[in-house]
Structure 1
Amino acid sequence: MDDAQLEIIMPLIMYGGEAKSNAIEAIAAAKVGDFDKAQEKLDAAGKAIVEAHHGQTDLLTKAANGEEVPLNIYMVHAQDHLMTGIAFVDLAKEIVELYKVIN
C-alpha cells in the first residue's frame, strides 16, 4: 500500500469513528432531555459521514478509471468503520426521536 492510498483510507477510519462517537453522544444527550445538544451531535455525525464519503468516492473513481485499488486489511477496516458509523447515525436519529416522544 502506498502513501496515496493511506491518505484516503485513514480518513475513512477517522471520520467513520467520529460519526459513531457523535451518534452515541447524541443518544446520551437525548436521554437526559438535551435535544439541542443531541441535534448538534447528529449534525456533527452527518458531517463526518460526508467527509468519509469523499474518501470513498475517491477510491471508487480511481477504480472506475481503471486504476488498481488493492484490497487489504486497512481497506476492509476503513469500510467497516464507515458502515458502522452510518448505521449508528441512522439508529441515533431514531432513538433521539423516541426520546422526544417519551419526554
Structure 2
Amino acid sequence: MPLVIYTVLRLLLFAVALGVGYLVGLRSWLLLLVAIVVAFGVAYLVLTKQKDAAARWLAERAERRRAGQEGLDRVIDEDAAAEDSAVDEASRTDGPNRNLGPQ
C-alpha cells in the first residue's frame, strides 16, 4: 500500500508541475520536460518518508516471495524424489522386458 501512496503523490506532483508550467506559458515537449524534471526534484526532496516506506514494503514483499519460493522448491524436490523412487521400484519389479505400452 505505501507504494500506491508514493506513486499517487508523485503523479500528483507531476500534474501540479504540468499545470503550473502551462499557466506560465510553456507548451509542447518543453512543458512535459520541465514538468518531469520539477516533479522529480520536488519528489526527491519532499517525499523521502513515503519513498522509504515504499522501499521497506517492497523489500518485505520480496522476502515473503523468496520464502514462499523456497517452500515451493522443497515440495517440488520431494515430489521429484518420490516419482524417481516409484519409477526405480517399477523397473526393479518389471525387469528389463517390461511392457512399455503399444509399439
With structure 2 as the length reference, what TM-score do the two structures score?
0.35
Structure number with greater CO (CA < 8 Å, separation at least 6) is: 1
